[in-house]
């Protein structure tokens, strides 16, 4: 049974959200009927509906608004997760099944901007959750430490281009940390969406970053997901970036078992990342298209692309640089997710040239 204090917070939260002008998918899909059906449920970790929706209630400017405190939440609270997942990922219905992992022909991607006029840099990332551990809100401090140790020792075995070093956030010089953030290599600190979701407990314990010398291959440890595996570099050579990512993921997967679900693919804390977990992005300058931001978003949307600011999600554009990436990650293969970004960016550049 969910205790009275939680039920009271849930009721107050529901009223706040329902009477707001929030544009989140949570507000769109959390009807009174769904709310009443779920408000008394709990996962075996003790997670309630409040744990799922508190970020979207506290942050009415959320685009999405819900997180899974533990993997079971995806089934226990399916009545709210399923319609939001379907809406975000463009038609992944409640009976749909994510396809098996398929990186496709890694040599088929090329430079999306061969003349180098538009694309500043290219990045492909994916997320992984380590088998046997719940998501952030349910992790203990001891588990954070244990996971950091596992991640850093696993990565220290990588060689060649992937060879690098693990830098724990604990004890990291503040100026070094800020420079890594400003250069787009490290996650930011104090993300209010994650904080409200109870995902920043014991910070900075267990958090850290691994990277090779030239910072083209990076792994984030215990920020939003247990692992974020990242390949990035200046310019538009998506082929090189993707090949590096696929090599890295294959190497890491040989050494660490990850949580995978038949229906939802790789499991992540935020449902927007389920499935392939792939976000392939470019930092791009398209000044003519971006003159009218609403238009840029509308055109990007036609190609299933999402526009973010220069410093990532919920940030503004600096110097006319936008972060544009594939929006869908679930219900298609890794190859298709990256192809969607590649094709879309090619089209956006064509449109920019024609204006």
Are 228 and 242 in contact by the 8 Å Cβ rule? The answer is no
Q: x/- string (CB under 6 A) for ligand ADP, residues 120-139?
A: -xxx-x--------------
**In Å, how far are 13, 21, 49, 58, 157 from 16, measured between CA atoms?**
5, 10, 15, 9, 50
If binding is defined by CB under 6 A, does position 47 make contact with ligand CIR?
no
Q: How far is the CB of 193 from ligand CIR (least distance, A)?
A: 4
- Binding residue for ligand CIR, selected from 14, 35, 64, 166, defined by CB under 6 A: 64
Q: What is the DSSP string of 21-33?
A: ----HHHHH--HH
Length of the chain measured in residues: 355
Of the candidate residues 256, 312, 336, 343, the single one contacting ligand ADP (CB under 6 A): 312
Window 286 to 345, contacts with ligand CIR (CB under 6 A): 313
Instruction: Establish if 279 lies at the interface with ligand ADP (CB under 6 A).
Output: yes
128 is catalytic: no
Please say if 192 is a catalytic residue.
Answer: no
State how far the Cα of 128 lies from the Cα of 277, in Å rounded to an integer.
8
Nearest-angstrom CA–CA distance, 207 and 349 = 37
Residue ranges of E strands in the chain:
119-128, 164-168, 208-212, 217-221, 227-234, 260-261, 265-266, 279-285, 305-308, 321-326
Q: Is 270 designated active site?
A: yes
Count interface residues toward ligand CIR (CB under 6 A): 9
The verdict on 55 binding ligand CIR (CB under 6 A) reads yes
The interface mask with ligand ADP, positions 236-275, x = CB under 6 A, is ----------------------------------------
Residue 13 binds ligand CIR (CB under 6 A): no
Catalytic residue check, 272: yes
Catalytically annotated residue among 125, 244, 328, 329: 125
Q: Which residues, numbered 184-223, are part of the site for ligand CIR (CB under 6 A)?
A: 193
* 338 half-sphere exposure, CB direction, 13 A CA radius: 30
Phi, psi of 85 (to 5 degrees): -65, -45
For residue 279, indicate whether it is catalytic. Answer: yes
Q: From start to end of 169-309, where are the E strands?
A: 208-212, 217-221, 227-234, 260-261, 265-266, 279-285, 305-308
Q: Is 54 in the site for ligand CIR (CB under 6 A)?
A: no
Q: How far apart are CA 231 and CA 246, in angstroms?
A: 9
Residue 22 is a binding residue for ligand CIR (CB under 6 A) = no
Partner that binds at residue 312, options ligand ADP, ligand CIR, none, CB closer than 5 to 8 Å by kind: ligand ADP
DSSP letter, residue 111: B
Residues tagged active-site: 125, 224, 228, 270, 272, 279, 308, 313
- Can you give the binding site for ligand ADP, defined by CB under 6 A? 121-123, 125, 184, 228, 232, 279, 281-283, 308, 310-313, 323
């Amino acid at each position: 049974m969910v205790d009275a204090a939680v039920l009271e917070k849930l009721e107050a939260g529901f009223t706040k959200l329902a009477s707001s002008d929030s544009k989140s998918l949570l507000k769109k899909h959390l009807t009174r009927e769904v709310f009443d059906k779920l408000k008394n449920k709990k996962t075996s970790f003790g997670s309630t509906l409040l744990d799922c929706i508190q970020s979207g209630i506290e942050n009415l400017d959320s685009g999405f608004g819900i997180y899974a405190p533990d993997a079971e939440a995806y089934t226990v609270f399916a009545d709210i997760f399923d319609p939001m997942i379907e809406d975000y990922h463009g038609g992944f219905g409640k009976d749909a099944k994510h396809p098996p992992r398929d990186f496709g022909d890694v040599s088929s991607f090329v430079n999306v901007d061969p003349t180098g006029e538009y694309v500043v840099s290219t990045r492909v990332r994916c997320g992984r959750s380590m088998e046997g551990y719940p998501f952030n809100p349910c992790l203990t401090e001891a588990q954070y430490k244990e996971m950091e140790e596992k991640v850093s020792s696993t990565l220290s075995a990588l060689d060649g281009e992937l060879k690098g070093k693990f830098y724990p956030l604990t004890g990291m010089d503040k100026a070094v940390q800020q420079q890594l953030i400003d250069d787009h290599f490290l996650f930011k600190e104090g993300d209010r969406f994650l904080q409200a979701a109870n995902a920043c407990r014991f910070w900075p314990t267990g958090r850290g970053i691994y990277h090779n010398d030239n910072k083209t291959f990076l792994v984030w440890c215990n920020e939003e997901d247990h692992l974020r595996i990242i390949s990035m570099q200046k310019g538009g050579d998506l082929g090189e970036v993707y090949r590096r990512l696929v090599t890295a993921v294959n190497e890491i997967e040989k050494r660490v078992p990850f949580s995978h679900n038949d229906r939802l693919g790789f499991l992540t804390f935020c449902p927007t990342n389920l499935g392939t977990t792939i976000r392939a992005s470019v930092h791009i300058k398209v000044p003519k298209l971006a003159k009218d931001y609403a238009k840029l978003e509308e055109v990007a949307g036609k190609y299933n692309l999402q526009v973010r600011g220069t410093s990532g999600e919920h940030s503004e554009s600096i110097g006319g640089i936008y972060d544009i990436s594939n929006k869908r990650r679930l219900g298609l293969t890794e190859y298709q997710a990256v192809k969607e970004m590649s094709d879309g960016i090619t089209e956006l550049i064509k449109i920019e040239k024609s204006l």
